[in-house]
A and B are shown apart, each in its own frame.
Chain A
Amino acid sequence: MIDNGLLVQMLIGALLGVSVYLPLAAGQLSLATPAFYAVGGTLAALLSTTWPALGAGADGSFPLASFLLELLLGGLLAGALALLVGRLVLRLQGIYLAIATIALVEIVRVAILNLPFTGGAIGIFGIPQPFPTAAGYLLPALGLLALAGWVCQRLEVMPLGRAMAAIRNDELAARCMGIDTTRVKLTAFVLSAVLAGSTGALAAHFLNTWNARQGSFDTAVTMLAFVILGGSRSWLGPVLGGLLLTALPELLRPVGDVRLVLFGLVILLGPSVFPQGLITPGLLERLGRLGERAEREPQT
């Protein structure tokens, strides 16, 4: 039921969930992830199909080094864009920020749809493949997720992560404590964009075709649902949410047309059943205590 292709999609979902989680960990509700995802994907699609120096083969093959370079470039371009946009939009708070980032997503979507070199409504297709099968993508996707998880885990003990948590709890108080809130929020925003950009580059190769629909308002909604249903207090929440909610519509395929309605119902009812998400702070605490006990036991 779950084949390698779906597994890669689930990992991509988890990566995007973490990307939405990062600004949220600093208390900023940003829905800009699809815009950066689209930017990264478009860059990878354009480079690999039009720049011969990257070494795309006539048989649709693609060197691994060029693929990794694209992941890097996709992340960097998205990060640069986030740096530029973030300075402007992060002055906004709450719902204003959410609306501004939705506007960004729509502007990027219309731009990709109308720019002369991005293939219009059809998009770019025949993107060369660095791996012969879907299974090949598992490793880079897992690697990216491990890297993102490691960064998030490190953040919890780093001054930056602490500052993010402080802003989330009370921005004004954080500012009074001498935290440069603008800088911290911008860093979280850029980190989120870099992750989304790299994920986009990976997804473009994996999907083989790329168009403006990849980053739309709908995607933003789904990604936010990853975080809310998974739990927004730890990076494990969006990972779990991304994995489950990406798999759900596919697993529901046997029920036919009702599946998307059911998927909507999960998003509709999820918050009332799990107001804190699946991975709650209480659960994390219990897991943490289990971990401590496991560490102590060998010595006794």
Chain B
Amino acid sequence: MIETLLQTLLNGAASGGVYALVALGYTLVFSVLGVINFALGALFSLGGYLTYLLMGGAISANGGLPGWGLPFGLPFPLPLLVLITSLGAGLVLVNLLQMLMGAEGYAFPATALAGLPDAVVLGGARIRSVQVLLLAVCAAAVIALTLWLERSRSGRALKAVAEDATTARLLGINSDAMLRLAFLLSGALAGLGGGLIGVSISLPGPYVGIGYGLKGLAVLVLGGLGSVPGAIAGGLLMGLAEALVPGEASGWRDALAFAILFAVLLLRPTGLLGRRLVEKV
């Protein structure tokens, strides 16, 4: 009993880690630009496929590639247009993937883990090593991102832009460069998530990222828009909540994230760790 619980919790934490990555991707762009980058789900798929294609037998962060070269940072005055543009970018990406790779699923080769045992038995619980690896990579990415944001010059500059872009520019920070950096990192996080999910589960098709993108959105609101610790906590919470859905109701599992999202929006629109926004007149 305790073994199954342990296994369930680990599964939950692993998918929660990926949700957290996606939510952090949204958070980075949202905090500097105040918009949601809806192309993130497609970037997640792209990351999965790139990792699959570039996989040289070992886990690599190749999924991080898609952040590069995205046509973002386009100066749009209206958030609504940015929203549509990012949706369009996502549509293009997913359909390009479908065109080039087909609609069929891809399973990663067994050599993907390079000699790691498939699973270890720990006190009666069978723990897939890929899950542990996934959790470790997520944790490493999250810690690295947090350290960078808190300690490094460029990270602090990004936070300054998020706080107040005009003041940051007056202080000599290149706001536009920071914006591009935020987009790049955001895409890299989502792509990394896609690569990890591909290795641990497989890629069921180009639309794999859309579902994760939407869940990431739920996590984003759960944790509080623009809050980094909120995105991490929200991701883990969401993963664990989903893992605890009993098997008989697994069809409804996908609705859980959105039911939670709905409840959070209504009870505490600022999210768990979000800041209260005061409407200025």
Q: A: which residues have CB within 8 A of B?
A: 29, 88-89, 91-92, 94-96, 98-100, 102-104, 106-107, 110-111, 113-114, 172, 217-218, 221, 224-225, 228-229, 257-258, 260-261, 263-272, 275
Contacts and interface: CB of A to CB of B under 8 A. Distances in A.
B252 interface: yes
A299 B76 CA distance: 47
Contacts of B217: 99, 102
Chain B, interface SS category: helix
A279 to B, nearest CB: 16
B88 A265 contact: yes
Contacts of B108: none
Nearest to A108: B255
A271 B92 contact: no
Chain A, interface SS category: helix
Interface residues of B, number: 46
B99 to A, nearest CB: 5
B92 A261 contact: yes
B251 A103 contact: no
Nearest to B39: A268
A96 B210 CA distance: 19
A264 B92 contact: yes
B84 interface: yes
23 contacts: A91-B266, A99-B218, A99-B221, A99-B261, A99-B265, A100-B261, A102-B258, A103-B218, A110-B255, A113-B251, A224-B84, A228-B84, A260-B91, A261-B92, A261-B99, A264-B89, A264-B90, A264-B91, A264-B93, A268-B89, A269-B88, A271-B76, A275-B77
Contact of B88 (A96, A172, A225): A225
B103 to A, nearest CB: 10
B258 A103 contact: yes
Nearest to B41: A217
B96 interface: yes
Contacts, number: 127
B205 to A, nearest CB: 13
Contact of B80 (A29, A111, A172, A263): A29
Q: 10 shortest A-B CB distances, which residue pairs?
A: A268-B88, A264-B91, A267-B88, A264-B92, A110-B255, A260-B95, A103-B258, A271-B81, A114-B251, A106-B258
Contacts of A103: 218, 258-259, 261-262, 265
Interface in B218-232: 218, 220-221, 225
Given A99-B221, A228-B80, A271-B81, A110 B95 contact: no
